[in-house]
């Protein structure tokens, strides 16, 4: 038996609280697009295979004809169709009753017995829900990049970084909407002399030509934001004796009164019509060997976007039949759903959750994922 002092043997630890070393789960991007569960751009269509038809408006001009002649014959507008499969996240946590019986509540003294471990179970259920919120955030963030990959490990599908997966999930974003955006982004935003204002205006003009939805949002991280603050043109337009921005708004507070994340929104005086979202959020993403922190918006990238709306992109919620117990009837669950399944020998239960769906990027050209500075 290990030697312990009488004080160590008889003393009771004083538990002051239960803490987390990680802030709230990521949801900023899915909230922006309205693709959070129950959000304005979440469409509960059901099933696991989705499709949508395409019938474009036209910019062609009707032909003139001289008096006394019939109409010019033109072909009907072409009709297209797109098909996609739902991405399915599914996990469970198994808990044994014997490990929960007559335990203390997390963050409290032993005089507060949690006989069925309800406090602990509630925290585990919340933990499981956070993982699914993170999964949806990852998928939405990769919609902005145009694609993501999946590494297959047995029956597990692990969302991963480019080059580490066996399967690619593509959102159909053209090559001209990535990188230099068809030759528009030619400067290095790290340089104070870079024509940031001119390039942003050129992207806006190209979006008018591509589809007609105007540029209204930039997504950058704090490094790129620093380049914009130091840019000579943006400073000159604002006035060298003034701040370069009109609006600086930190992210909204969470339920506990503290900010949800480190992000903030800026509106530059030279760009009064443009919301610049500064965001350094990220997730632990599989890289083929071990999960590593991966920023949603890397240092050398900028997302140029219109206002989010279901007409251009929405989350299609899939569904599947769930049987919660061996005697219950199957029921259809749409999108993100959670339930418990009891077990015997030994007694316990499983917390289960599933999320079936996929962002439908109806207008792939609205995504402009540009390289705006050299790789650090």
How far apart CA 191 and CA 213 sit, in angstroms, is 30
pLDDT digits (tens, 9 = 90+) for 242-258: 789 888 888 765 655 66
pLDDT digits (tens, 9 = 90+) for 46-83: 999 999 999 999 999 999 999 999 999 999 999 999 99
The mean predicted confidence, pLDDT, of the chain is 88
The answer to whether position 260 is within a domain reads yes
User: 222-226, 256-260, 354-358 — which is least confidently predicted?
Assistant: 256-260
Determine the longest span between alpha carbons in the chain, in angstroms. 113
Give CA torsion, residues 260, 263, 267, 268, to 10 deg. Answer: 160
The answer to whether position 107 is within a domain reads yes
The answer to whether position 58 is within a domain reads no
- Which is nearest to 31 in space by CA: 301, 256, 252? 252
The answer to whether position 16 is within a domain reads no
How far apart CA 218 and CA 203 sit, in angstroms, is 11
| For residue 7, pLDDT beyond 90 | no
Parallel, antiparallel, or unpaired: how do β-strands 42-44 and 178-179 relate? unpaired
Backbone angles phi, psi at 340, to 5 degrees: -120, 145
The token pair that represents 96 in the structure block: 């044994």
| pTM as predicted | 0.88
The answer to whether position 301 is within a domain reads yes
The answer to whether position 110 is within a domain reads yes
Domains held by the chain: number: 1
| For residue 30, pLDDT beyond 70 | yes
The answer to whether position 375 is within a domain reads no
- In CATH, what number is assigned to the domain containing residue 99? 3.90.1690
The answer to whether position 125 is within a domain reads yes
Domain assignment of residue 300, given as a range? 28-49+83-368
Write down the residue that tokens 């709230």 correspond to.
24
| For residue 13, pLDDT beyond 70 | no
Give the residue ranges of DSSP H helices in the chain: 6-10, 28-33, 118-145, 196-210, 222-229, 232-238
């Amino acid at each position: 038996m290990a030697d312990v002092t009488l004080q160590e043997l008889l003393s009771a630890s004083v538990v002051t609280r239960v803490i987390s070393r990680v802030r709230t789960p990521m949801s900023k991007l899915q909230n922006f697009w309205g693709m959070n569960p129950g959000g304005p751009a979440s469409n509960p269509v059901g099933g696991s295979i989705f499709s949508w038809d395409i019938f474009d408006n036209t910019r062609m001009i009707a032909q003139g004809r001289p008096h006394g002649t019939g109409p010019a014959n033109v072909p009907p507008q072409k009709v297209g169709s797109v098909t996609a499969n739902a991405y399915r996240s599914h996990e469970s946590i198994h808990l044994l009753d014997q490990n929960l019986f007559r335990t203390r509540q997390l963050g409290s003294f032993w005089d507060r017995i949690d006989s069925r471990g309800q406090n602990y179970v509630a925290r585990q259920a919340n933990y499981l829900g956070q993982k699914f919120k993170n999964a949806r955030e990852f998928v939405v963030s990769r919609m902005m990049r145009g694609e993501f990959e999946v590494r297959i490990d047995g029956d597990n599908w692990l969302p991963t970084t480019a080059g580490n997966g066996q399967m690619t999930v593509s959102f159909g974003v053209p090559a001209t909407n990535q990188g230099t955006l068809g030759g528009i982004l030619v400067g290095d935003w790290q340089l104070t002399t870079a024509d940031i204002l001119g390039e942003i205006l050129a992207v806006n003009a190209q979006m008018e030509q591509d589809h007609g939805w105007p540029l209204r949002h930039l997504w950058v991280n704090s490094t790129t934001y620093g380049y914009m603050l130091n840019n000579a043109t943006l400073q000159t337009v604002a006035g060298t004796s003034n701040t370069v921005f009109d609006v600086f708004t930190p992210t909204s507070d969470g339920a506990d009164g503290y900010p949800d994340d480190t992000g903030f929104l800026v509106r530059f005086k030279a760009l009064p019509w443009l919301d610049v979202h500064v965001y350094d959020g990220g997730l632990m993403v599989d890289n083929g060997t071990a999960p590593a922190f991966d920023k949603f918006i890397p240092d050398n990238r900028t997302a140029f976007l219109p206002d989010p709306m279901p007409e251009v992109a929405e989350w299609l919620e899939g569904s599947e039949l769930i049987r919660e117990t061996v005697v219950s009837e199957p029921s259809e669950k749409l999108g993100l759903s959670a339930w418990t399944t009891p077990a015997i020998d030994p007694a316990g239960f499983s917390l289960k959750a599933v999320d079936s769906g996929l962002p439908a990027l109806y207008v792939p050209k609205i995504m402009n994922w540009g390289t705006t500075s050299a790789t650090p």
